[in-house]
Amino acid sequence: MNVPQGKSNGEIDRPARRVGRPTTTVLTRSLIAEAALRLLDESGADGFTMSRLAQALRVRPSALYNHVDGKEDVIAGVRELISDRIDVSAFATEPWDKAMQQWAYSYRVAFATHPPTIALLATLPVRGARRTLRMYDTVVAAMVRAGWPEEEVLSTIVAVESFILGSALDAVAPGDMFDPAGEEARVPSFASAYAARAAAIGATPPADGAFAIGLHAILDGLRARFGEITAGHSEGRFGPGGKAAKAPTSA
């Protein structure tokens, strides 16, 4: 068990590597990121250690440090892998609200495909997020083009994203987290609503319903706001500046 590589662990058998630079490349930053994502999916966030990652790559833990800055950097690599799968293409063809809805669902799916990463990525601040920046640029450009005031777009996007992230965290929480079994007398309204929901949704995950309701509501609210703005008297509701919304100037 404390022998680092063995025939018994489902790994390919091979002779142990000796000290010194290997003759063929065994590690790269992206190989590490991919192995990390696989390890996360298999063993969860708790089982995700540098040792286990090294083991999966048939290497000693210290070898990883030739390619990444540390564990946080590995996680940053995983983030890139996942955010590459978020689809912003709808912003090129659809109206802003429909595009945002497709974006939100794609965002959710990208996370949901790898549940253990959600808490990890939610928690760890983004570093060197070049690709994430590109994604934002696409969304911002489309919103401004549609007529959203430039000083309000970012906050609007962040608001939607916050909802998506919060929903992803909710989706990953154990389903029976709030099962009121045995407490019906203490929390009668809750228990009754819990039973009513269970009866209504059947086998679909509860988190899906909350996501649909919330996304629909937030987009509805944003559409109303957009209507106010484009109706003409577009004094910002937020921010002390009170700057009038500018006409779209960029892109």
Which listed option, its own copies, DNA, none, makes contact with residue 132 (CB within 5 to 8 Å by class)? its own copies
- Tokens in use for 164? 């998506």
191 CB contacts (<8 Å, ≥6 apart)?
Answer: 180, 183, 184
Q: Of 42 and 184, which CB lies nearer to its own copies in the complex structure? A: 184
Q: How far is the CB of 188 from DNA (least distance, A)?
A: 35
d(CA 244, CA 234): 6
Which secondary structure element, helix H or strand E, spans residue 51, and what is its range?
Answer: helix 50-56
d(CA 58, CA 147): 54
Q: Of 26 and 212, which CB lies nearer to its own copies in the complex structure? A: 212
Q: How far is the CB of 155 from DNA (least distance, A)?
A: 33
CB 40 within 8 A of CB 48: yes
- End-to-end CA, the chain: 59
- DSSP helix/strand/coil, 244: strand
Which listed option, DNA, its own copies, none, makes contact with residue 123 (CB within 5 to 8 Å by class)? its own copies
- Tokens in use for 109? 């799916």
d(CA 206, CA 197): 8
Which listed option, DNA, its own copies, none, makes contact with residue 76 (CB within 5 to 8 Å by class)? none
Pick from 41, 45, 71, 115: which binds DNA (CB under 7 A)? 71
Alpha-carbon separation of residue 119 from 28, 40, 75, 133, 201 (angstroms): 25, 11, 11, 21, 26
Which listed option, its own copies, DNA, none, makes contact with residue 173 (CB within 5 to 8 Å by class)? its own copies
Residue 22, interface with DNA (CB under 7 A)?
Answer: yes
Tell which residue, 238, 234, 237, 135, has the closest CA to residue 248. 234
d(CA 21, CA 136): 41
Site for DNA in 181-240 (CB under 7 A): none
CB under 7 A: which stretch of 13-21, 81-89, 112-120, 175-183 binds DNA? 13-21
Residue 105, interface with its own copies (CB under 8 A)?
Answer: no
Site for its own copies in 179-238 (CB under 8 A): 180, 183, 186-190, 192-194, 196-197, 199-202, 204, 206-207, 209-214, 216-222, 224-225, 236-238
Q: Of 109 and 196, which CB lies nearer to its own copies in the complex structure? A: 196
Q: Using CA atoms of 86, 91, 97, 102 in order, give the dihedral in degrees to the nearest 10.
A: -30
Which listed option, its own copies, DNA, none, makes contact with residue 196 (CB within 5 to 8 Å by class)? its own copies
Residue 131, interface with its own copies (CB under 8 A)?
Answer: no
Which residues sit at the interface with DNA, rule CB under 7 A? 1-2, 16-22, 25-27, 48-52, 58-63, 65-67, 70-72
